Chain A
């Protein structure tokens, strides 16, 4: 019996030659063969592309990269150059600066705000929408403990967090046994200078440039992330039982008393501030100067006066404050770097090639 099976197994093997199927024949061969499958994958014979980096193969690649990058770079550079930007520092470091006295005599609990005015001239008219930024330098909004010092649920209008802010807000969590709303260091250090822009016409009259304060924050921030405490349309009541941040002059529900859609946590200046800047020198969108329906430029060239209500101290940490006016293009603000980078890299590639 065994013999017969063995015999058949051998015969099968002989007939099939190399095929593994032979193992299936005969009783003794019924044991599954452990022969590996002859698949390209298992035998590591997958069809493959084998690039070999030699001069011959690499040169064309360099040329191609160069040819693509240089035009892009030029395009970006031109775009960036078309953006008009004006920047003015109003910190008041120099003694001849209008804001010098404000900066010097700053005290947080003075009731009368110090104001100062700066004159400047725009050489060229600014077309289209103009964005007004305030810029801070040397302000480490990205400091690790600073970044963490907030309570997102509180800002989202969560009632329990309103009463019981997150531990992360320490030491700006409670004030006189009341929970601070909004808690945390970021909110506490809210930028509170007020900037006003006047256009001085050739006859000397000052025209207030209309500044739009809405639309400066991310839409998702304003509508999803930030929410006033629900339950009561009256913010004063909603925020009852909370304390204002230590450095603030007025509570959160008085940030913009005129517009309930811009008050409380959903105040856009507040939201913009809460989006902590990545680098110590940063600018934040303050206002938008909307394009006029007529053909006149948004900001015609000429003299302007910037009136600053100087509330925010920066000299203690050697900071600087700036006001920036800028138009934007499809790729954002003025920044020739990327264009230059493209041109440089493209040229290097071309050169190497």
Chain B
């Protein structure tokens, strides 16, 4: 009955929809099962099958041909071939003339077919993935393929499954009705996101039953906005509930931490948001190809000129005979007498056919073939293969390999691309004392020395149990995981860890590197001392206040690290089972009564009840090994507490840890696992655990922490004020079990926390702590660590009650709840007591710093565009930033002025000044992107500001600013913005851009850039699918660009030039002949030779050279990234080179024509007997020319050249012997055979190529001797014995005078800020809105800023120390940059000059304020800041 009603209603709605076309209505499919889909209201929506192929079997031929004819050259060649069918103008046998065109078209078609087939296969793979869909017939969930999924289906999703479509969440096994998803594939953020069950299904107690579902969903049409979803659900009773984006699970995301969820499909297939965000791939044409096309165009012009010349010549030739028609001037076939003019016109067309070879038809095919071969070699490079994941580089685009050698800008995603997205605890400061964790640093360094660590391995992780793990699927996973954990412990390599994480698929954030923190001995001692004291005091019932405040802070610090988070604990034996259970008593405290109830002595009982009930529930849930469940564990603890601690004042566990059964179990059973929403949290929890302060359980209302000596302590969790990006902090309100005080622990970005800590005037000690901590924070920031501050606050019960009341009001408020909650949080988080700060490192991937360093040396600009929250990064100042267009414009102006001012005062160069002044005036002019000296500045811009900056009116200014900075970081940018930035740079600066990223959020950027590179790793396949190249890791980019890119470019550039030369040379032979045949369009070269010369005889050697030639060895290229510049500057193929080649071609053809001409002058030689030696000579000349240009001769080169010659003679011999009457008009019967008996032929073949190549050979020799290019020097280096070469290579880093270090392109800032000056030296230029330009130096502001900076670029100091040694080899190096080596924080010491120190521009400290800030009251836009730059510098 209901079905009918709904059908009727839906019918109405559909009509409405067709009218309005603004919404989509989704019904449950199971209501219409009987109707076989005919009646289904959802049948109009796209199904879930995706198809990215271009052709079908039928449409292939027409469509492909159609596409191929988009290429001008193809049309041209077909036109010429057809022209041949016109009798008046034909030059060759028409069928013969078709051959090359058909050949070329079919080769391209086959290639396209193959590519499409690959796409088809990957589609098929995706379409055939499984998912569970509710079937009405079977009344259960059945497995179907993704492609069979339809809108309106109920899908059951299990943990770690990938979502097949956009699904509205209707039910979740999670007690809080949440579902955690990882959206890494969409936006690159790897932290888990929570999605909520639709509100109306929230209170559903039992499992969701699809059969009972009768509601209708109305929502917006499919769109590509990932962050928007609006709609409502209409229930049977007419109630409407709104739907938000929090209810929608997007295709491509992965379900995490949620056992099971059920949802209804809203958008499927191509209508899903993920797919809509995937624009079709742009047809990419490489720069070289574009350049080549220009020259092809020139070739056309040359061709036309030649044809015109010949036509005019023919007209005049005809004219000179007047009316007397000579016997050899044959009438047209029609027998009509042609006037000279008509004759000339016909001849013009004929000549186009004869000279068609000038437009190199085989060039396009040859380039494709060479590119495929290059791709093959890149594929097969062992150094680009990662053994651990068994993946190698994939070239997905076959036609832009040479672009890799010409990159100028790299746009990189950060998380997961540069970094591993694994946060590692590095250092901390507690109560103003820094614990540098040297051992930890050493340990981390160890991980970097990839395979050298086998014996180092610490044993405590490698003994995970395996005994009970064979049966269930889950436990098998666990063991798999523990196995993998073991494996990376064994090799110690992060690559192994990566592999392991891929194997186990859901190790969210816990590689051993993050887990095993080596504690700082000093701090460990203190912790031990402190806890033993506390233990002692607890036993003696002393007040804890007698403890020294330092020690107190330490314990508090670790407690805060442990509990101030949302980390979920799970034991290895039940990895998916969330410990969080459902409770009758919901945390947090709900009402005042509740509060009162909970804060009376009777509390324990109730809590106990609750936890025992939870125990029951967890029993009911049927977990495999109950006793190991931490919840049960904590319950036991509680029971213990109850037994032994009747006194509420001292709520502790009396059992010493060694007797704790739970603890002994823990030791036996292995470690607990922490699943955090963000990697930072996990890192901190693991860090705390290293100090024996471990989180053992988390229940909604309590957190259990195990402390040394003290055993397990249960903190009653009163409130959790979750993290949000506005506040940039999170807080927990707990009741401290030892003191029974209500304590607030807050953790957050240093800048925010520093603002809300208790004013320093409260105590001298606190003031000192703050001051010191700030210093350390600056230092961390300088090291590129992510800093977090930890603070606490003790509330009296009254205060708490007071706050709680208002908070509850806020929670229950209907209107403006968000704001009220926000205010409430602000009220709580004030007057904090600073405990300490931590420095966390988002570790860079292996070799990233080296890679970036050498890419920089190669002259590449690197921009980091990341969608990541730079939480602590450019912090609140940025988020409250420019909220209007004008403000942004002003900011940009100011930045620019600042940069210019800075440049002016630091530069003594008058000319530069003039240039800049000019520049200011013409700033808006789009064509004036001055090559401003690259500054030491770095630009940090966040998404919102970027939105303004990318506006048409401001983009020029933005670019001007960005260009004058050495590094640019755009954080919090949306995928669209990323692509806009790339597009802007690409279009406006006319540079070659490469975008590299790993997540789906990078897809649009990858597609927009000239070359898109995807990191094929854990984060889904979207980036890879969209990319042109997929790398297993970032560091491979170095070899890909510096070696393969260079090779591909130089090979292809040389090949293209050679092609032009070859064709011009060949065609010019015929052109010269026109002077001797009355401009009649006659050719002495047999038409067969003419047509197949390019396709066959001279094709192979150039292909081999184009594929295999190495101008410089891979080793040298990698050691001398400067050589990459030859590609960037297009040095191998400059416009003048084309003309030089043309001139050379004309010279050579003159030689090749006139030597035989004079040798056979006034003899009885016939046309083709004379033409054949010319063909042969031309072939020899062309091959030898290639030989001169070939840099490395392998047996393949020799073979190909021999083959070419042999092929020519074989074909000639066969052809000339085959048929005495065929092949009109040349009829070359027995020509070559006779020629081969003629000694003259051989003498010609020797002298002509020699004299033709003499100038080029001589030029090359002179060039190689007198003014060798960098590449040539590199080649000469290759010839040296390896030992010498190594020495020279290492030397070349310090010697500037050597030809190897080219122009000092990078003004690298090697002068780090002296540490002790930091406080005073940092003059922050503050532009206030009211009084702009007025300097304001508030150290506090500056501090916050500097700190915040720390997180913008958390990569530092990973450069190998070896480089420093090298750079210090020369005494000048030591003299010029003493700062580099002395008295700096370790990170600065490890930041060696990337170039020789003599290259660096060391600005005097009184100029260039090291820190600058543009501030417009609280609107902060762009910050060009030295510190950032410095850090980037250090890192990059």
Contact = CB atoms under 8 A, between A and B. Distances in A.
A146 B328 contact: yes
Contact of A284 (B470, B1081, B1164): B1164
A153 interface: yes
A57 B1264 CA distance: 10
A36 B381 contact: yes
B936 interface: no
A24 interface: no
Between B329, B350, B1194, the greatest number of chain A beta carbons within 10 A of the residue's beta carbon is seen for: B1194
B476 A48 contact: no
Contacts of B1251: 341, 345
Contact of B1164 (A139, A146, A285): A285
A152 B1221 contact: yes
12 contacts: A3-B479, A23-B390, A35-B385, A144-B1081, A150-B1225, A171-B332, A277-B1165, A277-B1167, A333-B1163, A338-B1159, A345-B1250, A345-B1251
B121 to A, nearest CB: 16
B1146 interface: no
Interface stretch (A6-14, A228-236, A290-298, A301-309): A6-14
Contacts of A76: 1243
A352 interface: yes
A54 B1229 contact: no
A338 B1160 CA distance: 10
B580 to A, nearest CB: 29
Contact of B1247 (A1, A52, A225, A342): A342
A52 B1264 contact: yes
B1230 A278 contact: no
Contacts of B1078: 140, 142-143, 280
Contact of A278 (B1160, B1229, B1276): B1160
Interface string B355-387: 000000000000000000000010111100101
B1184 to A, nearest CB: 12
A225 B470 contact: no
B58 interface: no
B1425 interface: no
Contact of B1244 (A170, A285, A330, A338): A338
B766 to A, nearest CB: 53
Interface in B821-871: none
B809 interface: no
B81 to A, nearest CB: 19
B354 to A, nearest CB: 9
Contacts of B1224: 148, 150-152, 166, 168
A129 to B, nearest CB: 15
B392 A10 contact: no
Interface in A251-270: none
B377 A3 contact: no
Contact of B330 (A18, A56, A153, A171): A171
Interface stretch (B169-177, B1233-1241, B1411-1419): B1233-1241
B476 A349 contact: no
A73 B1221 CA distance: 39
A69 B1160 contact: no
A81 interface: no
Contact of A3 (B379, B476, B1221, B1243): B476
Interface of A: 1-3, 6-7, 10, 14, 18, 20, 23, 31, 33-38, 42-44, 46-58, 65, 69, 72, 76, 133, 135, 139-153, 155-156, 158, 166-168, 170-172, 185, 188-189, 218, 220-221, 224-225, 247, 272, 275-285, 316-317, 319, 330-333, 335, 337-338, 341-342, 345, 348-349, 352
Chain B, interface residues (CB within 8 Å), range = 35 or more
Interface of B: 91, 321, 324, 326-335, 350, 377, 379-382, 385, 387, 390-392, 466, 469-470, 476, 479-480, 483, 487, 490-491, 503, 1076-1078, 1080-1084, 1108, 1110, 1114, 1155, 1157-1171, 1188, 1191-1196, 1220-1222, 1224-1225, 1227, 1229-1230, 1234, 1238-1240, 1243-1244, 1247, 1250-1251, 1254, 1257-1258, 1260-1265, 1272, 1275-1276, 1278-1279
A133 B1163 CA distance: 9
B428 to A, nearest CB: 35
B1247 A338 contact: yes
A35 B382 contact: yes
Contact of A35 (B392, B1168, B1262): B392
Given A36-B381, A337-B1161, A144 B1077 contact: yes
A1 B472 CA distance: 12
A146 B1238 contact: no
Nearest to A247: B327
Contact of B1257 (A58, A133, A167, A281): A58
B79 to A, nearest CB: 21
Q: Which 6 A-B pairs have the closest CB atoms?
A: A317-B326, A278-B1170, A58-B1261, A36-B380, A48-B1192, A171-B335
A216 B646 CA distance: 133
Contacts of B377: 42, 44
Contact of A335 (B1163, B1170, B1220): B1163
Contacts of A285: 1164
Given A224-B1229, A284-B1164, A185 B381 contact: no
A108 B476 CA distance: 108
A328 to B, nearest CB: 10
A3 B1159 contact: no
A148 B1225 contact: yes
A7 B476 CA distance: 13
B350 A144 contact: yes
A185 B1114 CA distance: 63
A319 B324 CA distance: 13
Nearest to A154: B1221
Contact of B466 (A3, A166, A221, A317): A3
Contacts of A56: 1265
A140 B1221 contact: no
A140 B1081 CA distance: 12
A20 B386 CA distance: 11
A331 B1235 CA distance: 12
A156 B1254 contact: no
A42 B483 contact: no
Given A65-B1250, A218-B1230, A331-B1243, 8 more contacts: A3-B476, A51-B1191, A69-B1247, A140-B1078, A167-B333, A185-B327, A276-B1167, A345-B1247
Contacts of B1234: 218, 220
Contacts of B324: 316-317
Given A148-B1225, A345-B1247, A278 B1258 contact: no
B483 A3 contact: yes
Contacts of A272: 1164
A147 B326 CA distance: 14
B961 to A, nearest CB: 42
Contacts of A338: 1155, 1158-1159, 1240, 1243-1244, 1247
B483 A6 contact: yes
A337 B1158 contact: yes
Contacts of A143: 328-330, 1077-1078, 1080, 1082
Contacts of B1084: 142, 278
Nearest to A277: B1166
A146 B329 contact: yes
A33 B382 CA distance: 12
Nearest to B473: A2
A152 B479 CA distance: 85
Contacts of A7: 483
Contacts of A247: 327
A141 B1220 CA distance: 21
Given A76-B1243, A317-B321, A283 B1162 contact: yes
Between A42, A47, A50, the greatest number of chain B beta carbons within 10 A of the residue's beta carbon is seen for: A50
B1193 A51 contact: yes
B1220 A224 contact: yes
A46 B1240 CA distance: 39
Given A3-B476, A279-B1160, A46 B1167 contact: no
